[in-house]
Chain A
Amino acid sequence: MEKRFDIEKHLRDDLELSPPSPDFSKKVMGAIAGTRIAPASRSYLNKKVVYGTGLFFLLLIAAAVVYALPSFNWSAAGKFRLPVDVSRLDIGQYINRKTVNCLLFGNVLLGLMFLDKYLIRRGRAV
């Protein structure tokens, strides 16, 4: 019976790993001697802040879409009519200087909260 070169067996038994230089572990230990373990990212990344920021931007996009809808020329789309008369909606009355200022203020507030958390964590780590 003809013998076969069993590649699976030889890969399991004969495959070798290459060793680094003998003093490799000492070199690495030397390199990490002055290094500190960074705090786990989950400890300084507040999920509420992340979700809050995400929600804020989603609302911003949604507001922009809603604002753009009334200015859209629906007649170009053919005879299809929406059950609601969108052209009568006046979103502009809600989006004014005051609303924009409020949104900006909320954004700055979120940024300051994040900075505050970051500085507290950094202070603890040092």
Chain B
Amino acid sequence: MHAGMDDIEIINQVLQGDQQSFEELIKRYQHFVFTIALRYSRNREDAEEIAQDVFVKAYRSLADFRRDAKFSTWLCTIAMNTTKTFLRKVKPRMDPLDPAMVHAQHTGYGANPTEKRSTQLLVNHVIGLLSADDATIITLFYKAEQSIEEIGVIMGLTANAAKVKLHRARLRLKEKLELYFADEIKEILN
């Protein structure tokens, strides 16, 4: 029903009283919002609670959405703020020194990485080893299709600072790949 409609058309429908149309926006962006929340909370239950809170806040403030930015940028900004507020109130339920575990459980990239060598699992596993900020900035740039300027808005940085942060996050990802998975990479390339 909403397949061909863009975000603004759906938002207009919701603002006119069609609450059910909001479900389409949830389906479109739930993966982004949930991933951002998971990168910081490292816990699926907390991430789901945060993501739900993000969409409820977005719905309540939908009339305040100014159309000079993308809806996804606005939503990711709410997601970042809600996640940080949540983490200030609640301590993460998982040891922050073991960030890869949650992602590993989710992706199926288990305790013995040599068993599964696909690049997809490898990349996603190493992303889980990065800090939350690094993992989020990489996700926003490569998956959420946010520009450097938009990432700056979402993370409360200047465009230049966001660019530098993204560059450094990529370098750290590369270092971790080379440090922990040099053999796997060799096998993938051969």
Contact partner of A7 among B23, B47, B48, B173, CB < 8 A?
Answer: B173
Is there contact, CB below 8 Å, between B177 and A7?
A: yes
Q: Are B127 and A37 in contact (CB under 8 A)?
A: no
Is the interface on chain A under 10, 10 to 19, 20 to 34, or 35 or more residues? 20 to 34
Q: Pick from A24-32, A85-93, A94-102 the stretch touching chain B.
A: A24-32
Task: List the B side residues contacting A75 at CB < 8 Å.
Answer: none
The yes or no answer to A38 lying at the interface (CB within 8 A) is yes
A2 CB to nearest chain B CB (Å): 9
Contact across chains for B15 and A37 when beta carbons are under 8 A apart: yes
- In angstroms, Cα B15 to Cα A47, docked, is 24
The 8 A CB mask of A10-45 against B (1 = contact, 0 = none) is: 111111111111001101110111011111111100
Is A3 on the interface with B (CB-CB < 8 A)? yes
- How many angstroms between the C-alpha atoms of A16 and B138 in the bound complex? 11
Interface centre among A13, A17, A36 (most CB of B within 10 A): A17
Q: How far is the CA of A43 from the CA of B133 in the complex (A)?
A: 36
Given A5-B185, A35-B59, verify A18-B52 contact (CB < 8 Å). no
* Residues of chain B in range 90-126 having any CB-CB distance to chain A below 8 Å: 103, 106-107, 119-120, 122-124
Q: How far is the CB of B50 from chain A (nearest CB, A)?
A: 10
CB distance from A101 to the nearest CB of B (A): 39
Rounded to whole Å, the gap between the CB of A13 and the closest CB of chain B is 8
B73 CB, nearest partner CB in chain A, Å: 16
Establish whether residues B127 and A27, one from each chain, have CB atoms under 8 Å apart when the complex forms: no
Task: Say if the beta carbon of B155 comes within 8 Å of chain A.
Answer: no
Measured CB to CB, the nearest residue on chain B to A40 is B63
User: What are 23 residue pairs bridging A and B, where the CB atoms are less than 8 Å apart in the complex?
Assistant: A3-B190, A5-B177, A5-B188, A7-B173, A13-B120, A14-B122, A15-B139, A15-B143, A16-B120, A17-B34, A17-B139, A18-B35, A20-B30, A25-B26, A29-B22, A32-B22, A32-B56, A32-B59, A37-B15, A38-B64, A39-B63, A42-B64, A43-B63
- Measured CB to CB, the residues of B under 8 A from A are 14-15, 19-20, 22-23, 26-27, 30-32, 34-35, 38, 47-48, 51-52, 55-56, 59-64, 103, 106-107, 119-120, 122-124, 127, 138-139, 142-143, 170, 173-174, 177, 185, 188-190
